[in-house]
C-alpha cells in the first residue's frame, strides 16, 4: 500500500510542476544547497552515504571486488591529485573527453556532442561550481530520466590508480568536470559498471529530454547528408557507430583505424570544392581522443592540398585529438548506424522548419492484468495499456509529396541499467497503431476489447520489437483518431514504460482507459416476497437474534459453497465476511438481517454465473486477464491502475483467480464505490478527509 501511496504522491508532485529542469526532482532526497551549507558550517568535506566510495560504486562483475580492473584503485579528491584543480578550463569542449578503462564510449560521445551547445550543457552541468569559493567536496548535475529532470548530488572522490583517473578524464590533468559528470551518471544508474555498453541516443536523451531517431546507413535516405547538416545547425546531437558481428570485434581497429563497436560523435558537415566538383565531408570524433581515420580526407591526406587554401585553413586540423574529416560516401560505406537526437525537437526532414508538439504518458505492464504481449498473443493482447491520438491537420510541406500528419512515437522502458545488477534482462518492446473504429471515436471512457483487434488490422507498427531501452519510429497517417498499444513481445512480462508522442501539428492525446463507475442495482425485496423455505433456512442458521455475525456468516457460506461441485472452493475467509457485513449492514450493528442476507445470496448467485462464464476450461479458476470483463459484467468499470491493484491482491502466482478471491474482490470493490459515493456529497469526484477520518475509512 505504501508503494501505491508513493506513486500517487509522485503523480501529484509532477502535476504541480516538480520534475522540470528548473524544479528538478532531488535524487535520494539530497538537496545540494542544504548539504553544501552544512559541510561549510561544520568545516568538513562532503561524503556521500548514498554512493560511498568503494567497491559497490564500481560494479559487480567486470568491475567487481575480485576483478583485476579494480585492484589497487584508490579513491581520491581532485585536490589530492593536483595542487590547483579546476572544474572547467576555458569552457567545456569536445576534446575534454578521453575514455578510461570503462566501456562507456557511447556516453562519452554524447558528452562530447553536449559541449557543442553552451545552453544545453548548462542544463546538465549547473554553473557556479568550482574548487575555490565555498568548496566543500560536493557537486551536482541534472539528467532527464523518463519524463522528469533529476538533480544528482555527489562527492568528488574519484577512482584512481597511481595518481591517475581510471575512467573518463581530460587532456588537461587539472580539469575534472567530465569525471564528476560521469560519476553522477553512474550514481543515477547504480554503479560505474552499469554504464558499460549502450547506444549514444540514450546519453543524448538523458542530457536533453529530446527524442532520438536512428538510421541504418545501408538504407540511408538520399537526403541524409542534408538532414545531418540541418541537425547540426539546429544544434541537435549526432552519433555514429560501426556494428560488430561478434564479441571479438568490439573496439577492434579496422584497416583505416576506425574502431568497431565504438560510438563516434559527428561534429561538422561541410561541402568543399575540389577540381570543379563538390565534395561532402563529415567531421567525426573518437572519444578516446586518439586513433583517427587514416583514409581520404584524414589529417595528413593529400586531398587537402587540392582544395582552396582558405577552405583548407578553415577546416583542417592535424592535431592528434581524435577528431577527423572523412568523405560522406566513405562514411556511408564504413559506418552502419547514425543517431540524431532532436532537441526541440524540430523536424529535420521537411522542407520547412517546424517545431514538434510533445505528449507523454507513464504506464506499466503488470503480470496478470496489463502485460498482454504482442499481437501474436490474441487472448491477452487487448489487456495492454492503450493511448489515443487524434490527428486533425496535415503537414504544411509534405515530405516526398505525401499528404498526411507526421508524428514520432517513442516507447522507452524504465530503469534498464539498474536492473543489470540484479541479473534482469531487458524486455523486447514495441508498439502497434490501430485506427479507432467509428463507434468508439470521441469516447473518453473506453478500453478497446479483443473483438476490435480481431476484426481490424493495425495501420502502423514499430519497425521491430527489440530489447533496447527505447523503440522510436516516424509515421505519416491521414487525419483521424488512432490508438497506440505499447507492449512487450511476450506476454506476462513485468515492466514500466514512458510513451512519448511528437506531432508536427497540434493533436489531442489521452490514455484510452475506462473510467471508474458502478452500475449495480440494489434489489429491494420485502420479507413477504421471499421464498418461505429461504426464510426458514435463515431462521435455523441465525439463532435467537435472527441475525448473522461475520463468524456465523463464514460458517454458512463455507458450508454452502462446499456443496457447489461446479465451482471448487477452498473456503471464504473471515476478512471477506467482515467486508460483506460492512457492505450490507444498514443499521450498523455489525450483523446481517434476513433481507440483507437475501441481497448477499442474490449477489453470490450472480457472481457464480459470471465466474463460470469466465472459467472457460472449467478448471475452477479464471485467468486474471479476464478480470476486467468479469468486473464489467458485475457492473463495475475500472481503469488500468485499479485493475492492476485488484489483480496483484487477489490473483495467485500463476495469474489466476479462484471463486473465493473473485467474490472477495467484487465485495471489496463495491464497498469502496459505496463509501466514496457517501463521502463525495457534492458529486465532484474528489473527497477530503482529515487523518482521523482517513484511518476510520481505510480500516473499515
Catalytic site positions: 105, 262, 286
| CA neighbor of 153 nearest in space, from 58, 41, 30, 46 | 30
Instruction: Assign 615 to helix, strand or coil.
Output: coil
Whole-number Å distance between alpha carbons of 700 and 688: 17
Residue whose C-alpha cell is 467482515: 578
Distance of CA 177 to the CA centre of its chain: 28
- CA angle, 515 then 516 then 520, to 5°: 125
Residue 425 per-residue DSSP state: P
Q: How many CB atoms lie within 10 A of CB 241?
A: 22
Whole-number Å distance between alpha carbons of 296 and 294: 7
Whole-number Å distance between alpha carbons of 498 and 360: 7
For residue 231, give the C-alpha cell. 541537425
Contact predicate 364/371, CB 8 Å: no
Q: How many CB atoms lie within 10 A of CB 655?
A: 20
Contact predicate 560/663, CB 8 Å: no
Contact predicate 284/323, CB 8 Å: yes
Q: How many CB atoms lie within 10 A of CB 131?
A: 18
φ/ψ of residue 134, rounded to 5: 55, 35
Q: Could you tell me the sign of the dihedral formed by the alpha carbons of 27, 28, 34, 37, in that order?
A: negative
Say which residues have a Cβ less than 8 Å from residue 273's Cβ, sequence separation at least 6.
Answer: 279, 307, 308, 311
| CA neighbor of 175 nearest in space, from 191, 155, 196, 156 | 156
Contact predicate 409/211, CB 8 Å: no
Burial class, 84, CB count within 10 angstroms (exposed 0-12 / middle 13-18 / buried 19+)? exposed
| CA neighbor of 142 nearest in space, from 160, 131, 154 | 154
Residue whose C-alpha cell is 475509512: 697
Amino acid at each position: 500500500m505504501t508503494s501505491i501511496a508513493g506513486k500517487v504522491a509522485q503523480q501529484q508532485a509532477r502535476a504541480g510542476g516538480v520534475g522540470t529542469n528548473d524544479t528538478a526532482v532531488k535524487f535520494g532526497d539530497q538537496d545540494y544547497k542544504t548539504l553544501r551549507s552544512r559541510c561549510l558550517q561544520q568545516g568538513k568535506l562532503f561524503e556521500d552515504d548514498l554512493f560511498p566510495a568503494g567497491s559497490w560504486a564500481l560494479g559487480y562483475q567486470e568491475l567487481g571486488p575480485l576483478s583485476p580492473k579494480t585492484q589497487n584503485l584508490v579513491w581520491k579528491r581532485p585536490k589530492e591529485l593536483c595542487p590547483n584543480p579546476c572544474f572547467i578550463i576555458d569552457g567545456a569542449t569536445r576534446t575534454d573527453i578521453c575514455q578510461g578503462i570503462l566501456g562507456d564510449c557511447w556516453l562519452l560521445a554524447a558528452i562530447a556532442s553536449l559541449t557543442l551547445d553552451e545552453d544545453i550543457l548548462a542544463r546538465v552541468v549547473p554553473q557556479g561550481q568550482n574548487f575555490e569559493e565555498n568548496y566543500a567536496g560536493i557537486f551536482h548535475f541534472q539528467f532527464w530520466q523518463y519524463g522528469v529532470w533529476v538533480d544528482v548530488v555527489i562527492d568528488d572522490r574519484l577512482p584512481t590508480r597511481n595518481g591517475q583517473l581510471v575512467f573518463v578524464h581530460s587532456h588537461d590533468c587539472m580539469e575534472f568536470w567530465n569525471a564528476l559528470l560521469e560519476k553522477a551518471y553512474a550514481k543515477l544508474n547504480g554503479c560505474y559498471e552499469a554504464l558499460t555498453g549502450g547506444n549514444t541516443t540514450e546519453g543524448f536523451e538523458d542530457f536533453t529530454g529530446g527524442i532520438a531517431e536512428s538510421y541504418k546507413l545501408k538504407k540511408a535516405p538520399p537526403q541524409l547528408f542534408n538532414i545531418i547538416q540541418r541537425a547540426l545547425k539546429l544544434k541537435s546531437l549526432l552519433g555514429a557507430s560501426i556494428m560488430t558481428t561478434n564479441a571479438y570485434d568490439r573496439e577492434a581497429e579496422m584497416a583505416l583505424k576506425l574502431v568497431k563497436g565504438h560510438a563516434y560523435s559527428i561534429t561538422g558537415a561541410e561541402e568543399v570544392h575540389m577540381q570543379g566538383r563538390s565534395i561532402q565531408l563529415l567531421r567525426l570524433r573518437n572519444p578516446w581522443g586518439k586513433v583517427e581515420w587514416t583514409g581520404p580526407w584524414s589529417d595528413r591526406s593529400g586531398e587537402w592540398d587540392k582544395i582552396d587554401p582558405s577552405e583548407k585553413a578553415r577546416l583542417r586540423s592535424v592535431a592528434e585529438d581524435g577528431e577527423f574529416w572523412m568523405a560522406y560516401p566513405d562514411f556511408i560505406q564504413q559506418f552502419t548506424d547514425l543517431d540524431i537526437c532532436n532537441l526541440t525537437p524540430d523536424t529535420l526532414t521537411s522542407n520547412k522548419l517546424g517545431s514538434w508538439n510533445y505528449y507523454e504518458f507513464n504506464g506499466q505492464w503488470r503480470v496478470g492484468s496489463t502485460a498482454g504481449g504482442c499481437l501474436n498473443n490474441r487472448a491477452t493482447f487487448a489487456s495492454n495499456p492503450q493511448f489515443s491520438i487524434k490527428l486533425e491537420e496535415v503537414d504544411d510541406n509534405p515530405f516526398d509529396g505525401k499528404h498526411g500528419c507526421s508524428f514520432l512515437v517513442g516507447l522507452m522502458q524504465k530503469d534498464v541499467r539498474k536492473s543489470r545488477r540484479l541479473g534482469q534482462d531487458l524486455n523486447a518492446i514495441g508498439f502497434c497503431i490501430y485506427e479507432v473504429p467509428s463507434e468508439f471515436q470521441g469516447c473518453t471512457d473506453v478500453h478497446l476489447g479483443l473483438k476490435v483487434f480481431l476484426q481490424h488490422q493495425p495501420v502502423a507498427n514499430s519497425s521491430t520489437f527489440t530489447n533496447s531501452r527505447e523503440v522510436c519510429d516516424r509515421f505519416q497517417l491521414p487525419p483521424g483518431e488512432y490508438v497506440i498499444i505499447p507492449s512487450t513481445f511476450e506476454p506476462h512480462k513485468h515492466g514500466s514504460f514512458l510513451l512519448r508522442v511528437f506531432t508536427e501539428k497540434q493533436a489531442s492525446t489521452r490514455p484510452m482507459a475506462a473510467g471508474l463507475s458502478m452500475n449495480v442495482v440494489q434489489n429491494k425485496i420485502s420479507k413477504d416476497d421471499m421464498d418461505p423455505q429461504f426464510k426458514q433456512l435463515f431462521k435455523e442458521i441465525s439463532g435467537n437474534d435472527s441475525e448473522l455475525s461475520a463468524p456465523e456468516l463464514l460458517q454458512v457460506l463455507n458450508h454452502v459453497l462446499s456443496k457447489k461441485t461446479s465451482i471448487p472452493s477452498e473456503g471464504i475467509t473471515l476478512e471477506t465476511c467482515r467486508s460483506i457485513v460492512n457492505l450490507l449492514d444498514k443499521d450498523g450493528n455489525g450483523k446481517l438481517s434476513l433481507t440483507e442476507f437475501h441481497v448477499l445470496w442474490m449477489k453470490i448467485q450472480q457472481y457464480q454465473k459470471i465466474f463460470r462464464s469466465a472459467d472457460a476450461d472449467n478448471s475452477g479458476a479464471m485467468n486474471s486477464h479476464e478480470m476486467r470483463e468479469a468486473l464489467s459484467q458485475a457492473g463495475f468499470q475500472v481503469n488500468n491502475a485499479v485493475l492492476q491493484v485488484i489483480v496483484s491482491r487477489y490473483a495467485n502466482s500463476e495469474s489466476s483467480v479462484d471463486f473465493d478471491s473473485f467474490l472477495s474482490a467484487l465485495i471489496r470493490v463495491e464497498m469502496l464505490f459505496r463509501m466514496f459515493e457517501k463521502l463525495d456529497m457534492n458529486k465532484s469526484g474528489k473527497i477530503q478527509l482529515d487523518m482521523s477520518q482517513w484511518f476510520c475509512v481505510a480500516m473499515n
